[in-house]
């Protein structure tokens, strides 16, 4: 058994022989190609981790090792590659004897790839850890599924991620409940474990280009799923997220989804206010950049941002 970061890959234990599946993907491999499958033992749940990747050879290995080095033994690991041509697939193949299954073929984006991966999952709980992201430490799964009483259909924790476009990190503490879900995601999907039956019941709606994860969580909530918060730092997020770049579309999608939870004046005013603020802020920013004042005022803005972070009980600056 190979080592990485000084640890044995405990995730290739709990294997049982089975039949080789007849997949029709363009390229695929892993333990299932050898007729081997993971099973849950000792009354502990099998956790499926799925990683979506496309041309991310620089960081995909970090994510893979983050999963393989988990001390929790009952892990099923699935990688779905969108047809990378930058060496990503070669890195995946380097670890394929430790991966349950990997596939590589063109897809229509992250959420289409997640739906494709859903047919490969067999675990009781599922977590999505995208390429570049990683578990906070080697004992995350053990800290949750061995040391705590888990009863939720959706189990979510905290995460460390960027504050802004600079590489400044903060610890984000997830909200205690979903009472304010109409405002947007109450937690990060990379810090969320979901029962497999919900993944099967509510495929990601690819009409939402940005907020399909929020749509999924909303459907789970409206369906009566039990949400459970655990005070564990689950993941470290690599990037600030696609919603930062496509902020206007993200605002509109969140507004549409939020109204399903509570369609009243408060919900509509909250999302309208956020949309107007973003439009005016960017218009102001562009004007200042044109006049040459933006660099100076950006420093003032960052100081203000740090004060807001300090005042927000759900965010703690770490770098």
Q: Which residues, other chains included, contact 237 with Cβ-Cβ below 8 Å and sequence gap of 6+? A: 133, 159, 160, 161, 162, 188, 190
Find how far residue 28's CA is from the centre of its chain.
Answer: 23
pLDDT at 241: 57
Query: What are the φ/ψ torsions at residue 194 (nearest 5 degrees)?
Result: -120, 135
- In the prediction, which pLDDT does 270 show? 85
- Please report the DSSP string for 235-262 in residue order: EE-SS--HHHHTHHHHHHHHHHHHHHH-
- The reported pLDDT for the residue numbered 248 is 80
Tell me which residue of 38, 36, 26 sits closest to 103, measured CA to CA. Answer: 26
The pLDDT value recorded for residue 316 is 67
Q: Report the SS3 class of residue 305.
A: helix
Q: Look at residue 165 in the predicted model and tell me its pLDDT.
A: 59
Ordered per-residue pLDDT tens for the chain, 319 residues: 344 444 457 777 778 898 999 999 999 999 999 999 988 877 899 999 999 999 999 999 999 999 999 999 899 999 999 999 999 999 999 999 999 999 999 998 888 999 999 999 999 999 999 999 999 999 999 999 999 999 999 999 999 987 665 556 778 888 878 888 888 887 888 999 999 999 999 999 989 888 889 999 999 999 999 999 999 999 998 765 565 677 788 888 888 888 988 888 988 888 888 888 778 877 777 776 767 766 766 666 666 656 655 666 666 656 5
Spatial contact of 314 and 175, defined as CB atoms under 8 Å apart:
yes
Q: Report pLDDT for 1.
A: 35
- For position 308, what pLDDT does the model report? 58
SS3 48: strand
pLDDT score at 250: 83
Q: Would you state the pLDDT for residue 2?
A: 44
What lies within 8 Å, CB to CB, of 309 at 6+ separation is 163, 170, 315, 316, 317
Residue 266: its pLDDT value, please?
84
pLDDT at 193: 98
Q: Are 37 and 122 spatial neighbours (Cβ–Cβ below 8 Å)?
A: yes
């Amino acid at each position: 058994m190979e080592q990485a970061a000084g640890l044995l890959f405990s995730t290739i234990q709990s294997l049982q022989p089975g039949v080789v599946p007849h997949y029709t993907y363009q390229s695929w491999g892993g333990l299932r190609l050898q007729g081997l499958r993971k099973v849950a033992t000792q009354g502990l749940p099998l956790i499926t981790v799925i990683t979506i990747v496309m041309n991310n050879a620089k960081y995909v290995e970090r994510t893979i090792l983050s999963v393989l080095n988990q001390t929790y033994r009952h892990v099923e690991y699935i990688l779905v590659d969108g047809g990378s041509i930058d060496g990503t697939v070669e890195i995946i193949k380097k670890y394929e004897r430790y991966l349950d299954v990997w596939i590589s073929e063109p897809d229509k984006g992250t959420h289409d790839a997640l739906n494709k991966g859903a047919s490969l999952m067999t675990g009781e709980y599922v977590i999505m850890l995208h390429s570049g992201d990683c578990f906070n430490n080697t004992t995350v799964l053990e800290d949750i599924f061995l040391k705590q009483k888990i009863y939720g259909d959706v189990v979510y924790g905290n995460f460390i991620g960027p504050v802004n476009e600079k590489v400044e990190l903060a610890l984000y503490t997830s909200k205690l409940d979903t009472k304010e879900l109409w405002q947007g995601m109450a937690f990060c999907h990379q810090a969320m474990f979901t029962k497999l039956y919900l993944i099967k019941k509510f495929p990601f709606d690819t009409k939402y280009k940005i907020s399909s994860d929020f749509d999924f969580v909303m459907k789970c909530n409206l369906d009566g799923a039990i949400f459970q918060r655990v005070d564990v730092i689950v993941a470290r997020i690599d990037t600030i997220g696609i919603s930062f770049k496509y902020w206007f579309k993200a605002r509109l999608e969140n507004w549409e989804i939020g109204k399903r939870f509570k369609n009243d004046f408060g919900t509509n005013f909250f999302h309208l206010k956020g949309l107007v603020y973003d439009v005016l802020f960017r218009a102001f920013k562009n004007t200042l950049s044109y006049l040459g004042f933006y660099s100076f005022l950006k420093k003032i803005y960052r100081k203000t941002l740090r004060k807001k972070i300090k005042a927000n009980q759900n965010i703690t600056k770490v770098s």
